[in-house]
Amino acid sequence: MTAPPDVSGTAAEADPEASLKGVGKKAIQGRSLGQIAWLRLKRDKVAIGGAIVIVLLILVAIAALLLDRVFDVVHPNEFHQDLIDTENGTLAPLGTFGGISGDHPLGIEPVNGRDILARIFAGSWISLLIASLATVLSVVIGTTMGIIAGYFGGWVDTLISRLMDVFLAFPLLVFAMALVGVLPDTAFGLSPEMVRISLLIFIIGFFNWPYIGRIVRGQTLSLREREFVDAARSLGARGPYILFRELLPNLVAPILVYATLLIPTNILFESALSFLGVGINAPTATWGGMLSDASRFYTMPHFMLWPGLAIFVTVLAFNLFGDGLRDALDPRAR
């Protein structure tokens, strides 16, 4: 669905010499890239805000996994049908704003009265896991393929480019539905749930790589003309060294930008699959699954509001942090 941005790492920046003369004299002692990035990041309040939210989200996800699965104190699947309007048959939560109460701060789901907060909480880890791992998968495959296509050119490029076309043109939903319908429950000693999660990660990640592949390829095409590549070759560097040690670090910025855009896409993809009945198995909560459930009750917007908000906050945090990180990692940016 989404598109490969041809984002070059260097956005606005002053004359590179400016930094040269500015920093050159003052900071004599060496700083690693990590240190520099960290120094810059620290100054970027917005990015730090994003990072804090991400860390919080991860903590929440871990907490959710522990509290729900190990200690069983969250009850995301527990019904509260006594709080549902069965009398009139509307099956809507009793009370205002979707049944908000002390026990259920974000209200409850219609029909079964499950606590929305508990479900958002319990669903956080799966949603984040799928979104991030699928993104990582796309990025890894896309980067590898793109960099190889861009660097070697010729028939390798043609082959990979057309392969990207195949993947782009491929009816992903057909594949998803066909695959999910027939896959065994347990494989490689994983629980059915983990099998399903891995499957979704695989499908979502595996089919999104061409976007990132295209960007990386484009950037590589221009990067490989840079003289430092020749320099490495003249020192006797082999292909993999050039690809992954010389070129890859220079591709981080566009990849980051795209990866942060890919995260919401992937969360929504999971939700679309849920909507079509091939998502994570019920009753396990995921944000995408909640959205897809909520779409049947769009007359009760509170149901959608909270998972939507959770996704939005995640997306925003990742994007803000990604932008900041990109700027920080760019040694030339200032």
Partner 1 sequence: GGGTSSSGGSTGGNGGTNTPAFNAAMTTIFNPSDKKGGTVRVANAGTWDSLDPGETYYGYSWNFARTYARTLVMFKPAPGDGSSELVPDLAESLGEASDGGKTWTYKIRKGVKFEDGSVVTSKDVKYAVLRSTDKETFPNGPAYFEGYLNLPEGYKGPYKSKGVDTNSAIETPDDQTIVFHLKQPFGGFDYFAMMPQTAPVPEAKDTGAKYKEHVIATGPYKFDKNEIDKGFTLVRNDQWDAATDPNRKALPDGYQVTMNVNADDIDNRVISGDLDLDITGTGVQPASLSRVLGDPALKAGADNPSSARLWYTSISPTVAPFDNKACREAVQYAVDRTGYQTAYGGTFSGGDIATNLLPPQIPGASKFDLYPAGADNKGDVEKAKAKLQECGQPNGFETNIAYRAERPKEKAAAEALQQSLGRVGIKLTLKAFPQGDYFSQFAGNPPYVVANKLGLALNGWQADWSDGFGFLSQIVDSRVIRETGGSSNVSVRVPDVDKMLDEAIGETDKSKRESDWGAIDKRVMEEAVILPGVHAKALLVRPKKLTNVFVSAAYGQYDYLSFGVA
Partner 2 sequence: MSTKTETAAADRRLGEDLLVATDLQKHFPIRRGLLQRQVGAVQAVDGLTFSVKRGETLSLVGESGCGKTTTGRLLTRLIEPTGGKITLDGRDITHLSAGAMRPLRRDIQMIFQDPYGSLNPRHTVGAIIGAPFRLQKVKTEHGVKRAVQELLELVGLSPEHYNRYPHEFSGGQRQRIGIARTLALRPKVIVADEPVSALDVSIQAQVVNLMEDLQNEFDLTYVIIAHDLSVVRHVSDRVAVMYLGKIMELADRTSLYERPMHPYTVALLSAVPIPDTARRDNRERIRLSGDVPSPINPPSGCRFHTRCWKAQEVCKTTEPPLAELAPGHQAACHFPENTTKLTIDPTGSAA
Partner 3 sequence: MTQQEDTLGGAATRPPADNGAFLQVRELRVHFPTDDGVVRSVDDLSFSVARGKTLGIVGESGSGKSVTSLSIMGLHKKGTAKITGEILLDGQNLVGMAPDRVRQLRGKRMAMIFQDPLSAMHPFYTVGSQIIEAYRIHNKVTKAVARKHAIDLLDRVGIPNPKSRVDDYPHQFSGGMRQRAMIAMALSCDPDLLIADEPTTALDVTVQAQILDLIRDLQAEFNSAVVIITHDLGVVAELADDIMVMYAGRAVEYSSAADIFNSPQHPYTWGLLGSMPRLDRERTERLQPIKGTPPSLINVPEGCPFNPRCAYAGTNGDLSFTVRPEFRDVGGGHHIACHLEAQDRQRIWETEIRPKL
Residue type, 19: S
Subset of residues 96 to 125 that bind partner 1, contact rule: CB under 8 A: 110-112
- My answer on whether omega of the bond before 283 falls inside 30° of 0, hence cis, is yes
Q: Does 158 bind partner 1 (CB under 8 A)?
A: no
Binding characters for ligand ATP, 16-35, by CB under 6 A (x = yes): -xx--x--------------
Tell me, by CB under 6 A, how many residues bind ligand ATP.
5
Residue 91 interface partner, choices ligand ATP, partner 2, partner 1, none, CB cut-off 5-8 Å depending on type: partner 1
Q: Are 9 and 254 in contact (CB under 8 A)?
A: yes
Distance CA 172, CA 136 (A): 19
Among the candidate windows 167-175, 178-186, 205-213, 231-239, which touches partner 2 by CB under 8 A? 231-239
Q: Are 280 and 200 in contact (CB under 8 A)?
A: yes
Residue type, 12: A
Q: Are 6 and 322 in contact (CB under 8 A)?
A: no
Distance CA 45, CA 42 (A): 7
Structure tokens at 293: 């459930």
Closest separation between CB of residue 233 and ligand ATP, Å? 14
Judged by CB under 8 A, the residue of 33, 55, 62, 66 near partner 2 is 33
Q: Are 287 and 269 in contact (CB under 8 A)?
A: no
Judged by CB under 8 A, the residue of 8, 11, 16, 56 near partner 2 is 16
Residue 334 interface partner, choices ligand ATP, partner 1, partner 3, none, CB cut-off 5-8 Å depending on type: partner 3
Among the candidate windows 27-35, 77-85, 137-145, 165-173, which touches partner 1 by CB under 8 A? 77-85
Identity of the residue, 2 or 19, whose beta carbon is nearer to partner 3 in the bound complex: 19
Distance CA 35, CA 40 (A): 9
Q: Which residues bind ligand ATP (CB under 6 A)?
A: 14-15, 17-18, 21
